[in-house]
């Protein structure tokens, strides 16, 4: 029996500016008022995640880190439900007003929407 891993290793991250840039050309989108997911198919066997939380929307570093931590953790738990795509998460205004649980719910909804758009 294969044990499913829920770690968030380097392979699951978008690391270079080039990897980020490639997602911005003709992406599949899933968005809400506060968060936009952009995705493009990748050649890996798994999804990869990149996060951008702009200072102009979230001024304080600890707030940006908290948002990134919540999204990253959520990705870690849902990575096996996602297709093999590179995902860039863009965080906009309004995220700071959300409770952690609300943010988690929203991100989960967006993962599902993205999977549907990709597979559908």
Scanning the chain, the segments in alpha helix (DSSP H) are 17-24, 61-78, 100-119
CATH of the domain at 72: 3.30.230.10
User: Residue 12 domain-assigned?
Assistant: no
Question: pTM for this structure?
Answer: 0.90
Range(s) of the domain holding residue 113:
17-119
CB 55 within 8 A of CB 88: no
Instruction: Render each residue's pLDDT in the chain as its tens digit; 120 residues.
Output: 555 677 778 888 999 999 999 999 999 999 999 999 999 999 999 999 999 999 999 999 999 999 999 999 999 999 999 999 999 999 998 999 999 999 999 999 999 999 999 876
């Amino acid at each position: 029996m294969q044990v499913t891993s829920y770690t968030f290793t380097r392979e699951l991250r978008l690391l270079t500016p080039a990897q980020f840039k490639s997602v911005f050309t003709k992406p599949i989108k899933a968005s809400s008022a506060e968060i936009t997911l952009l995705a493009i198919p990748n050649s890996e066997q798994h999804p990869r995640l990149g996060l951008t939380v702009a200072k102009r929307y979230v001024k304080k570093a600890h707030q940006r880190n908290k948002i990134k931590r919540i999204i990253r953790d959520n990705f870690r738990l849902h990575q096996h439900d996602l297709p093999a795509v590179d995902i860039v998460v863009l965080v906009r205004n309004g995220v700071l007003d959300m409770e952690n649980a609300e943010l988690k719910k929203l991100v989960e909804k967006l993962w599902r929407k993205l999977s549907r758009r990709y597979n559908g």
